[in-house]
Chain A
Amino acid sequence: MKTRIKELRAKHNLTQEDLAKKVNVRRETIVFLEKGKYNPSLQLAYDVSKVFDLRIEEVFVFEDSN
């Protein structure tokens, strides 16, 4: 899974810490999301997308494993 979080953060002038506070997670979680090292829960994916006012699939790009 790839994400556009880093690009969207830069566009909205948010640091990782700012975004972490907005979605109530640790900064490390945002780091892992950006690097694709963690697949978030649906709730977290929704919360992050809501910060950028986008749909989930516009922020998180799921790769078809099949």
Chain B
Amino acid sequence: MKSTKTALILVLVGAVMFSGGLWLYSTGKSLGLLEIGTAILVLIVVLLSLFVGLKRIKDEKKGLPVDDELSLRIKQKAGASAFSVSFILWPIILIFTMDSDLDVRIPIEIGILAMGLIFIGFWIYYSRMGLKDENQN
């Protein structure tokens, strides 16, 4: 089951990279700052997922569990923190894009990518700092 999950992560990473490359090729036009920025952010997410997937394979080969109580708690806390931040993020995006001529897809794209990056940021932070004070009032 866990090998399946790892394989799935790697397949998804491959699929995202392939479709991203296909999209870039098919646009047939010169890329603006927004498109390049989006592509870079997607690449960061993809590379991080690849790193996580390969680490999981390495741990599985060593006979170590891929997930345990700490890693699951870190993911939960990162998700909860990212969700809390999104309450501030989306109003800010809306304030800055409400009266502009931007296509509605662009703020949505930015918001979703930002939420992903914020989650990754929190995940990295808690993975380094630990969850020492979690049970304290």
Interface readout for A1-17 with B: 1 if CB under 8 Å, 0 if not?
00000000000000001
Cβ-defined contact, A44 with B130, below 8 A: no
Cβ-defined contact, B64 with A20, below 8 A: yes
Q: Which of B2-10, B65-73, B109-117 forms part of the interface with chain A?
A: B65-73
Cβ-defined contact, B65 with A37, below 8 A: no
**B-side contacts of A32, CB under 8 Å:** 70, 130
Interface of B is mostly: loop
A65-B136 contact, Cβ under 8 Å, with A35-B130, A38-B130: yes
- Flag whether B129 is at the interface (Cβ < 8 A): yes
Set A17, A29, A37, A39: member contacting B68, Cβ < 8 A: A29
Cβ-defined contact, A44 with B132, below 8 A: no
Cβ-defined contact, B62 with A40, below 8 A: no
Report the bound CA distance from A41 to B131 in whole Å.
12
User: A25-B65, A37-B132 provided; 10 other pairs, C-beta below 8 A?
Assistant: A21-B64, A25-B69, A26-B59, A26-B65, A26-B67, A29-B68, A29-B69, A38-B130, A38-B132, A39-B135
